[in-house]
Structure 1
Amino acid sequence: MTIRFDDLPEADQGLLRSRLVAVPRTRRGVLRTVLGAGSAVALGTFTLINNGAQRAAAATYFNDWTSTSSGPCGAGGYASGHTEAGATCGPSTPCYDRTCCWKYHNGAGNRVGWHTQGPGRGSRYYTHRPDACYAGTYDSWHWRFSDGRTYRCSDGWTCSTTGGCYRSICPWAV
């Protein structure tokens, strides 16, 4: 059977034209659009406020002694000689291999270059030692080594699930 062009049915042009005509806007439709756009702007603002609050909270949680000429680095302080002895904060053990230092992006209570809070490799886990460094109010302090670089030493605990814990220091170049 052969089909010719004349045998094909014709589309109703009236229905096609009615679908192409713009629907007039109602007050309700305009109001819905305006409220939707306002909600999107408000939610975006909340995100900015939340990010600022997170930065402020992190800054208040990690109290950092930044002077390299006073405090622990001042005359008679344990880092005053700017030698390897400055890498320890009292009897703490530095993690020279940086296993106790957080190396990834900020989050989950951890900040890059600070002592890790959470599980480690094998049976190890780490935790902060807040307000335990200099003067009982600082979580870390800066120390200028004889090579001219400034380091942050943040305090924490290195623990084992099979044993106890010992004080540890995360030395990090700042």
Structure 2
Amino acid sequence: MKQKTKIIAITGAESTGKSTLAKALATHYNVPFVPEFARSYVEQLHRSYTYDDVILIAKKQIEQYNEMVLQQPPLIILDTWLLITKIWLDVVYDKVPSWIEQAIKEIHIDTFLVCDIDLPWVPDSVRENGGIDREKLQQTYIQELKNYDFPYHIIKGNYEERKKAVIKVISSLD
């Protein structure tokens, strides 16, 4: 009998090690992961992103999720997820389409890993929210997880400590 795929979504404010953690877990478990689409998409734009760009990003996140689920790996690791995109739409544009809210409610995630802001914020060409904005967004992500009643774990420490903590979390999902 085939074991059910476990789905882990990594979330948290900017510059908290989400991508590094996703790659490390994919290597550790020898599974593919869904990379952060928003970053690569926005980096290739030669203009400021728009509301329509963020909508496209949301649709792509759902598409990538569905493609990965069809492959039926034992574990799916999502480097960021639709929840961040929803908050991005709300904060920047003050409007979120109802289909995104519905997708967040309906698409199955076994647990969320919230990378804490205990790592220093490192600016780059895409990041916009350091300092107090980073702290506020982090609290918003956690509050949204609570609002949806999603299971989550706050992951702290250096990169190796985070990886070890997450391996324990994933083991507990069995």
The answer to whether the superposition gives a TM-score over 0.5 is: no
**Larger C-alpha radius of gyration, 1 or 2?**
1
Output the TM-score relative to the length of structure 1.
0.20
More strand by share: 1
TM-score (ref. length: structure 2)? 0.20
Greater RCO (CA < 8 Å, at least 6 residues apart): 2
